[in-house]
Amino acid sequence: MYSSNKYQSTCSSKYDCNMENLSSRVLARRAELGLSQADLAKAAGISQSTIAQIERGRNRGSKYILALADALNTTARWLLEGADSAAQPKSPPTERARRRPDVEIPQFETGGAMGKGLELHDQPGIIQAWHVSSEWLHKNIPTYSQKENLCIVTGFGDSMRPLFNPGDPLVVDRGVRSVDYDGVYFFRVGNQGFIKRLQTIPIEDGFVLRAKSENAKYDSWDITEKMDFEVFGRVLKVWCSHDF
């Protein structure tokens, strides 16, 4: 941790080294870390206009103090009470820490899908998790129920070729638990897992849900009401690997 004198010595006169209030401490700490107002707003999860108001003293900021302290790598007590308090700013984060991805997309836990665990045949290993930036998520997967509902499923079997191959990553939205419209879904029948294109087909006495493969060598089949059927999520994105 910084001593009081060491921290004050890093201040520019532009920011008033006395730092007698929250606004000056937020401004000085942000400057020391080399963050723009936009950077701080993103890290704290609040608007840039709110950051600007806090730094101008127009917003007391107590509502956001914990988020600001975390984003500025310091303590709430230091932001509120200043250099005379026992809680001083922590060391600036390393470059590696600054580049830490914002979002973790975890592996789908097949063991928790059913009491006995889910069987995924011909799955060549498992992708445990992805760590991506918020920008990557926004550009590559713009639509989903909630960030926390996203998971990675490792492709298995060859029934969906050429859409994806065994071992390829699939991003699944676990917030989608019913087939409200046609698409590719991750689901189970009994204790066997499937990834298929599900299509609602009208029949004489209503509708039937048809499971279709991309690989023409596999037959389509119908999911009936008597089957032990459960949707785990809708497939939002797949990556198809190619060997060179």
Q: Domains in the chain, ordered, with CATH?
A: 4-94 (1.10.260.40), 103-238 (2.10.109.10)
The predicted structure's pLDDT at residue 171: 97
Helix, strand, or coil here: 186?
Answer: strand
Indicate the pTM of the whole model.
0.59
Q: Is the pLDDT of residue 115 over 50?
A: no
Q: Is the pLDDT of residue 185 over 50?
A: yes
Distances (CA, A) of 115 to 118, 152, 171, 229: 9, 21, 24, 15
CA angle 141, 178, 134 (to 5 degrees): 20
Residue 61 backbone class (left: φ over 0; alpha: ψ -120 to 50; beta: rest): left
pLDDT level of residue 80 (50, 70, 90 thresholds): confident
pLDDT level of residue 134 (50, 70, 90 thresholds): confident
Contact (CB, 8 A) for 9 and 19:
no
Enumerate the H helices of the chain as residue ranges.
4-9, 22-33, 37-44, 48-55, 65-71, 76-81, 95-98, 134-140
Cα separation, 67 vs 1, whole angstroms: 20
Q: Is the pLDDT of residue 205 over 80?
A: yes
pLDDT level of residue 170 (50, 70, 90 thresholds): very high
Tokens linked to 18: 């006395």
pLDDT level of residue 6 (50, 70, 90 thresholds): very low
Point out which residues pair with 192 in neighbouring strands.
Answer: 119, 189
Across residues 192-219, what is the average pLDDT? 94
Contact (CB, 8 A) for 109 and 126:
no
Taking only the tens place, the pLDDT of each residue in 219-240 is 999 999 899 999 999 999 999 9
